[in-house]
Amino acid sequence: MEKVGYILLGLFAGCWLVGMLAGFIAAFPFGLFGLLALGGIGLLFAKVVKERLASKEDDHYSRTVDK
């Protein structure tokens, strides 16, 4: 059930992102600022995910600390 929720949320976020990109392209000269901002956010998100996947300390605490 939880996985279905994550899949639906991911699909919605993907559609929303496509809509934003289409809007930025439609507003061409001023839309470039939005595309740059969206690209910056994407790069920061990729950096956070990369660091989280490489962190052995976070994995240790998520496995051993009582919830």
pLDDT mean for each 10 residues of the chain (67 residues): 92 92 86 88 93 80 71
User: Which string of b and e fits 13-28 if b means at least 16 CB within 10 Å?
Assistant: eeeeeeeeeeebeeee
Supply the pLDDT for residue 31.
83
Supply the pLDDT for residue 44.
96
Supply the pLDDT for residue 66.
65
Would the pTM of this model clear 0.85, i.e. be above it?
no
Closest CA to 14 of 42, 36, 40: 42
List the structure tokens of 25: 């392209």
Supply the pLDDT for residue 1.
86
Q: What is the distance of C-alpha 42 from the center of its chain?
A: 6
Q: What is the spatial distance between Cα 53 and Cα 46, in angstroms, rounded to a whole number?
A: 11
Q: What is the spatial distance between Cα 36 and Cα 34, in angstroms, rounded to a whole number?
A: 5
